[in-house]
Amino acid sequence: MPDDPVDIADLQRRMEGALTSMKSDFSGLRTGHASANILDPIVVDAYGQKMPINQIGTVSVPEPRMISVQVWDKAMVIAVEKAIRESSLGLNPITDGTNIRLPMPELNEERRKEIVKIAHQYAEQARVAIRHVRRDGMEAAKKAEKDGDIGQDEARVLSDQVQKSTDDAITQVDTLLEAKETEVMQV
């Protein structure tokens, strides 16, 4: 059989994409020290559309507990400051001309628990994306069997491969979540 009705490598690539997205989301969760990635999920109303902060200014970490945003267009400073204030990150921007400084406050127990909840939401989004990929693979195997392209045994083998890939990806999500939770709750 030259073409498999279910491309397992493609399904695994798509599942890996969900994991990569979750890792990116996790990198934005702050754990008490400054990271330029923290501002990645924030979008600013600029020039009639929503833009990420890193497309409006330069984000840097001059000190371990400080993030600096050098806004390129002076007219955008207020919009950037507003977007940061309204985000769920709990940061209080200090504006100095076109430079916005974001001191990182100490994390208290309540804030740590909030961050863990957000991490759980990101993990669940990744699990849902992985399950969608699984569903696509299972449907392709069933359709190929129904159309007579493959036999019942081959369909079962393909379904088992799709399920194994799904289980592996979900295990990775759980492992990453556990590691992030440990990192956040560490005092």
CB contact burial 65-75 (16+ within 10 A = b; e otherwise): eebbbebeeee
- What is the DSSP annotation of 7-62? -HHHHHHHHHHHHHHHHHHHHTS--SS--GGGGTT-EEEETTEEEEGGGTEEEEEE
- Domain final residue, candidates 80, 103, 126: 103
- Residue % of the chain over a pLDDT of 90: 21
Domain assignment present for residue 1? The answer is: no
- pLDDT, tens digit, 9 for 90 and up, residues 1-35: 446 677 888 888 999 999 988 888 887 776 666 77
* 52 and 119 share one domain: no
Domain assignment present for residue 2? The answer is: no
* 82 and 142 share one domain: no
Domain assignment present for residue 42? The answer is: yes
Count CA within 13 A, CB hemisphere, residue 105. 10
Res 175 pLDDT > 90: yes
- Domain final residue, candidates 58, 77, 103: 103
Q: Give 174's pLDDT tier (boundaries 50, 70, 90).
A: very high
CATH number at 80 reads: 3.30.1360.40
Domain assignment present for residue 47? The answer is: yes
Number of domains the chain contains: 2
Q: What are phi and psi of 177, to 5 degrees?
A: -65, -45
Residue 81 sits in which domain range? 33-103
| Bridge partners for 51 per DSSP | 44
Domain assignment present for residue 81? The answer is: yes
- The answer to whether 102 and 91 have CB atoms below 8 angstroms apart is yes
Domain assignment present for residue 139? The answer is: yes
Q: What pTM does this model have?
A: 0.67
Find, among 163, 168, 118, the residue nearest to 16 by Cα: 168
* 122 and 179 share one domain: yes
Q: What is the pLDDT of residue 30?
A: 64
